[in-house]
């Protein structure tokens, strides 16, 4: 979880080329959501979640961790494809090709949804499931808009 937040908050913005500016209100809402969700996930896992001995070897944890890992790899690779879609100074719409974009039009969204459902399965907490469902509904609607 911390690795993804580090990637999304610090590395990803440094890799972005020029683009449309983000409205300040959107930035504030995203920041508040990330702070609240980060607190909720961290508090849940460090204070309330209890796991039986051997949990890291449990099929639910292993399957969830692999889902999270594959989802993150798809997400990061799809972000790379999107960042390099246009040459510097080029404008206009381009359809991404390669990676999971060969199978779904919103590969970056698909990767992130898979990532957080894997996280929810690995953690088995109501908070992680709530985050996965929020991700599905928010990114699912964005993916649908992008597809159209």
Any domain includes 5? no
User: pLDDT per residue over 122-136, tens digit each?
Assistant: 999 999 999 999 999
3-state SS string for the chain = CHHHHHHHHHHHHHHCCCCCCCCHHHHHHHHHHHHHHHHHHHHHHHHHCCCCCCHHHCHHHHHHHHHHHHHHHHHHHHHHHHHCCCCCCCCCCCCCCCHHHHCCCCHHHHHHHHHHHHHHHHHCCHHHHHHHHHHHHHHHHHHHHHHC
- Asked if the model's pLDDT at residue 18 lies above 70, the reply is no
Tally of domains in the chain: 1
Instruction: Read off the pLDDT band of 94 (50, 70, 90).
Output: confident
Q: Kindly state whether residue 117 falls inside one of the protein's structural domains.
A: yes
Residue 125 maps to a domain: yes
Q: What is the pTM of this model?
A: 0.86
> Does 135 reside within a domain?
yes
Residue 18 belongs to some domain of the structure: no
Residue-wise pLDDT for 28-60, tens only, equals: 888 888 888 889 999 999 999 999 999 999 999
């Amino acid at each position: 979880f911390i690795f993804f937040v580090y990637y999304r908050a610090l590395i990803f913005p440094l890799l972005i080329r020029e683009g449309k500016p983000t409205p300040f209100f959107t930035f504030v809402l995203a920041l508040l959501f990330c702070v609240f969700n980060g607190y909720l996930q961290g508090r849940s896992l460090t204070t309330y979640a209890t796991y039986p001995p051997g949990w890291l070897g449990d099929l639910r944890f292993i399957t969830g961790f692999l889902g999270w890992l594959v989802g993150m790899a798809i997400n990061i690779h799809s972000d790379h494809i999107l960042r390099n879609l246009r040459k510097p100074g080029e404008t206009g719409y381009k359809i991404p090709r390669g990676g999971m974009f060969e199978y779904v039009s919103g590969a970056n969204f698909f990767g992130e949804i898979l990532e957080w459902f894997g996280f929810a399965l690995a953690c088995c907490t109501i908070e992680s499931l709530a985050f996965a469902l929020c991700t599905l509904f928010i990114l699912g609607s964005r993916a649908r808009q992008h597809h159209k």
